[in-house]
A = this chain, B = another copy of it.
């Protein structure tokens, strides 16, 4: 049961593109890229998740390269970080917050768009939401030469997965309202920020690595 293209879709997309573009631009500034490096990384981060989504669901050419409003949002994000960016010590924290906003907005927007197409099963809609959410950040980190944040320490993919699941389940139940959408966005953002603040991590594998680490630490 595909749902109508939702009125909140464009707003969610614009917010997500803008904040991810800021996050990409800030990483580029930290890496001391030049103006076009900053703009390129801002665009790749801001538009990357949506492009991955559209390629996966066959909605080509992706809106990320065809819609001037999304492009403008991404360029504005990139220019803003280039011209006015805070001190390096404040950048890391800001990137994390913006990243959390983008994660929340894109998880919801991604699964919402997938649901609007007839041939996308619910499982795929959930995963497309997840990949929309983490795609831009993964592209940013791979291009900047660092291991993607989604694979690193704190809870990152899980809140996005829960957020897109909420949207898909609500759609299946026929109760997908704006209220549900924005609640899902808020939920993902809050869980992600709480995870960062409390330094909550998912469990790590036990094994030789950890034991050896402890041994080495006690020996030295």
Give residues in A with beta carbon < 8 Å to B.
Answer: 28-41, 51, 55-58, 60-62, 65-68, 71, 81-82, 85, 87-89, 114, 119-121, 123-124, 127-128, 131, 138, 142-148, 150-153, 155-158, 201-205, 207-210, 212
Question: Which of B55, B60, B148 is the one whose CB lies under 8 Å from A143?
Answer: B148
Chain B residues within 8 Å of A151, by CB: 28, 31, 33, 37, 40-41, 143-144
Counting every copy of the chain, the complex holds: 3
Q: Are B57 and A61 in contact (CB under 8 A)?
A: yes
Contact among B34, B51, B58, B153 for A204, CB-based, below 8 A: B34
Given A35-B202, A123-B65, A124-B61 in contact, is the A143-B138 Cβ separation under 8 Å?
A: yes
**A66-B123, A66-B124, A138-B143 known; A205 vs B38 contact (CB < 8 Å):** yes
B123:A40 contact, CB within 8 angstroms: no
A212 nearest in chain B by CB position? B88
Listed by A's residue number, 8 A-B pairs whose Cβ atoms lie within 8 Å are: A29-B209, A34-B153, A34-B201, A34-B204, A36-B156, A56-B62, A65-B124, A138-B143
Residue of B nearest to A114 (CB): B61
| B56 and A123 within 8 A (CB) | no
**Which residues of the partner chain B approach A152 to less than 8 Å between Cβ atoms?**
33-34, 37
In the complex, are the beta carbons of B40 and A88 less than 8 A apart?
A: no
A205→B32 contact, CB < 8 A: yes
Specify which chain B residues have a CB less than 8 angstroms from the CB of A202 in the assembled complex: 34-37
In the complex, which residues of chain B have a beta carbon less than 8 angstroms from the beta carbon of A85? 205, 207
- Distance between A157 CB and nearest chain B CB, rounded to angstroms: 5
Give the shortest distance, in Å, between A174 (CB) and chain B (any CB): 21
Contact A58 B56 (CB under 8 A): no
The reply to whether B36 and A128 contact each other, CB–CB distance below 8 Å, is no
> Bound state CA distance, A217 and B62, in angstroms?
46
9 closest pairs, A vs B, by CB? A66-B124, A58-B60, A35-B202, A34-B202, A37-B151, A65-B127, A88-B208, A61-B124, A65-B124
